[in-house]
Structure 1
Amino acid sequence: MHTQVFAVHRDSEHRFSKTTVPFIELLKGLGVQGDAHADTTVQHRSRVKANPDQPNLRQVHVISASLLAHVAEQGFSVQPGQLGENITLSDAPGLDWRAMISLPLHTELHFASGAVVQLTGLRNPCVQIDQFEKGLFAAMLDKDAQGQLVRKTGVMGVVLRGGAVQAGDAVHAVLPAEPHQALERV
């Protein structure tokens, strides 16, 4: 499964949206250099309140540009970085938003620079999404054919190997050895 990086984002403050930048530097075991969520322990405010010592499984947030197109079809206007992601991937056959959230746990995203992000789980949408655009929270949730909750807001990961990432960089997904485990919310 191959695609390209569409855009990259970071923010040194804990804000909902992130600023699009020319490149980001992924730091092994930490996340995105200069981003408020970078560290070995959890940095997301709600998670810090629950247990500030838990490992940071949410160092990097990745979504597909196809998710932005999907919500645009529902009448929402969301640009890259506005959902708080660090990396927006280009729309690619076989790696759209549905395929991305269906990847197994420990899938590795290999970037052209040599950087590697290992997927740890699904981003759980929060009510801040409705503060960004009313009704968007509901659009980020769905039910599958078996009635299970589907979280559309992308995947989270940890940095296994550092490196610079920028728009246009090739990226490919490497699946872990079987048996595969489904991504759960982190």
Structure 2
Amino acid sequence: MPGQVTAVSRHATYSFSKPNHDAVTLLAGLGVEGDVHAGRTIRHQFRMTYEPEAPNLRQVHLMHEELFDELALKGYDVSAGGLGENVTTRGVDLLGLPTGALLHLGDEAVVEVTGLRNPCSKINDYREGLLGEMFALDPVTGAFTFKCGVMAVVRRSGTVRPQDTVRVELPALPHRPLERI
């Protein structure tokens, strides 16, 4: 069963949270039209200072709505766009995807997953103590999991709206696990 887009968000200026919209347009090779993070080269405020010509592997930030459910059980009120994501989904194991997975969003848009969002301390400015909830320690392997979504680049342009389906297309084997970017 395919997943679903539950919200879409963008903001033209740097701010931690992004307001929700009825639709966003994804532009191939650039990102979300009208979003401050759109561009061929990196648009992350801190990283632009030391690697301004690096390719932008963070054009679109996707986050699973199930994280908000988990956080609510711990007393945190977080809603779509609150943590700066562009596309909020339900029913897709974003964190379990391999690098290079393609996500078909609605009828047109396709994004390629590039890595895990690296959470920053600004998350605690949004809600005190929330940063600590963005990590999980695997009790078996001892590895950290970063829980605040995945980053992607736009491979095919298109409009994305809440209620659109999300279909996952896995890359050829062997799969490479997601790393922080």
TM-score tier by shorter-chain length is over 0.9
| CA distance, structure 2, for counterparts of residue 47 and residue 101 of structure 1 | 23
Q: Pick from 151, 158, 161 the counterpart of residue 156 of structure 1.
A: 151
Among 101, 109, 114, the alignment partner of 1:115 is 109
Q: In the aligned structure 2, how far is the partner of 1:58 from the partner of 1:103?
A: 16
Q: Which structure 2 segments of 5+ residues have no match?
A: none
Q: Shift in Å at residue 52 of structure 1? A: 0.5
**Long gaps (5+) in structure 1:** none
Matched with 1:58 is 58
Structural mapping, 1:1-186, within 5 Å? 2-90=2-90, 92=91, 95=92, 99-144=93-138, 145-186=140-181
Identity of aligned residues (%): 44
Contact 2:106 2:161 in 1 (8 A): no
2:110 alignment partner AA: V
Write out per-residue CA displacement over residues 44-67 of structure 1, whole angstroms, 9 at most, x where no aligned residue: 111112200100000000011101
TM-score (norm 1): 0.95
TM-score by length of 2: 0.97
Off by >3 Å, runs of 4+ in structure 1? none
- Number of aligned residue pairs: give it: 180
Q: Give the aligned residue type for 1:136.
A: L
Deviations 1:8-43 (A, max 9, x none): 000001100001000000000000000000000000
- Whole-angstrom distance in 2 between the partners of 1:7 and 1:142: 25
Q: Alpha carbon RMSD of aligned pairs, Å?
A: 0.8
User: Which of 126-135 and 43-52 deviates more?
Assistant: 43-52
For residues 106 and 126 of structure 2, what CA distance do their matches in structure 1 show?
33
Q: Deviation of residue 100 (structure 1)?
A: 1.4
Q: Which 10-residue stretch deviates more, 99-108 or 157-166?
A: 99-108
